Amino acid sequence: MDSNAHQRTTAGADAAITDQGPGQAGATEGDPDAMASPSAIAPASDASSRKAALLRSGILLLVLFVVFGLILPRFVDYQEVAQALAALTLDQILVMTILGVIAWFVCGQLFTVLTPGITPLRGMVAYLILSGIGSSIPFGPWSMGVVWVVFRNWRISFEDSTSGVALYGIINTLARFALPIFAIGFILATGELGSGRKAAVIISIISAIIFVVSVVVMLAVVRSDRAANKLAEVVERFVSWILRKLGRHEQPDVDGSIHRFRDSVGDLVRRRGLAGLAVTLAAQIPWAIAFVTALRFTGVPADVLSAGEIIGVFALVAVITIIPISPGGAGVPELLYISFLSAIAGPSWEAAITAGVFLFRLYVWFLPIPIAWILLKVVRRGQPVLPTTAELKAFSSTAT
């Protein structure tokens, strides 16, 4: 890599981590990538960051109250939901727990594929921390910053930590666009596609187009300087046109951003991008199985909701919630699952469906929250559990 490319790589890495959110490197004596001591950071900055985190968590609780305290009780009898959950046997809870752990483990392997030095077990730990912190402290990429800190505590290099975390978010989003394609394929293969699924087909077609175009563009950019320059030119014109319509006249550095991306994670995309995408898609299989199983355990039979219909709803909600409709992914996915599945099954099954959705989301959303804080406490032993934005900015600016 030439000197200019190296400078863009370093700048891109620094920018990516500075924007990620809070963090603190686990600097150890003799580590060539060790970072500066946090002793010079002002306590006021720390207090401000932590106050912002508490405020964000408060907004999350407000959303949960609105969804589960005000909206759902108008349509669902919570007493019936409680009865369905209380009827679960120990064996059924054990089966769901096994499926949940398998899903956590497989999801974590994306970190293993993208980041040299991350073992399969540590990949699962990183995934749980990412999920739990993202769910409990919404708004902004706090969880990505915290995972970067965890990687540094594990003595993963600055460059590998930065590129691995950055590419994780890109591939994870692309894979969600691909999910409806497989769902509709499954429904077609089982002969379950009816006139009531036209919306699902439309969303799947749109998702497929976005998925294919995104993958092709990303691969072209990382493989060719000419493609990167062409994309930068097109995007820059489009962004400038939008800014002019908004009455703003600043000129964004699109070309620099695209080349920084290419220089910082381009080689990783070429070597491991497709493997990472395959792992991410494979990770959705145990979640889909867990979703179907949860609904069966709470009393929703196959003749009311088939596996294809459940997987189709699972995929469509994954695409819809790519846009962060609610902070921390709280409330809205449950509402969408219950609404879509009840529309197919009928209102008489709302309580059983709600119980199944709650059981499924227990492993997807709720349990990773306490587990993440426990794991973070272990990884950052002797340090504050939650790093601050001021810490991360100070450390990234002094990284070797």
**Model pLDDT for residues 25-79, shown as the tens digit of each residue:** 333 333 333 333 333 333 334 445 556 656 666 666 777 777 778 777 877 788 8
- Residue 329: the pLDDT is 67
Q: Is 33 within a domain?
A: no
Q: Give the range of the structural domain holding residue 180, as residue numbers without chain letter.
A: 3-13+43-385
Rounded to 5 degrees, what angle do the CA atoms 301, 302, 303 make?
Answer: 95
- Residue 99: the pLDDT is 97
Q: Taking residues 380-385, report their average pLDDT.
A: 82
**Model pLDDT for residues 319-340, shown as the tens digit of each residue:** 888 776 665 567 888 889 999 8
pTM summary value: 0.73
- Asked if pLDDT for residue 218 goes beyond 90, the answer is no
Q: Taking residues 177-182, report their average pLDDT.
A: 78
Q: Is 38 within a domain?
A: no
CA distances from 347 to 77, 80, 137, 195, 258 (A): 11, 13, 34, 20, 49
Q: What percent of the chain has pLDDT over 90?
A: 27
- Residue 390: the pLDDT is 65
Q: Is 252 within a domain?
A: yes
Task: Kindly give the residue spans of alpha helices, DSSP state H, lying in the chain.
Answer: 3-20, 43-64, 78-86, 90-114, 120-136, 142-153, 158-189, 198-223, 225-245, 254-268, 274-297, 307-320, 332-345, 350-361, 368-379, 389-397
Q: Is 110 within a domain?
A: yes
Domain total in the chain? 1
The closest of 331, 341, 387 to 361, measured between CA atoms, is 331
- Residue 385: the pLDDT is 80
391 vs 361: which has the higher pLDDT: 361
- Structure tokens given for 106: 């497989």
Q: Is 34 within a domain?
A: no
Confidence of residue 178 (pLDDT cuts 50, 70, 90): confident
Q: Taking residues 120-125, report their average pLDDT.
A: 97
49 vs 150: which has the higher pLDDT: 150
Q: Is 29 within a domain?
A: no
Q: Taking residues 74-101, report their average pLDDT.
A: 92
Please state, in angstroms and rounded to a whole number, the distance separating the CA atoms of residues 281 and 311: 14
Q: Is 335 within a domain?
A: yes
Whose tokens are 């990949």? That residue is 123
Q: Is 393 within a domain?
A: no
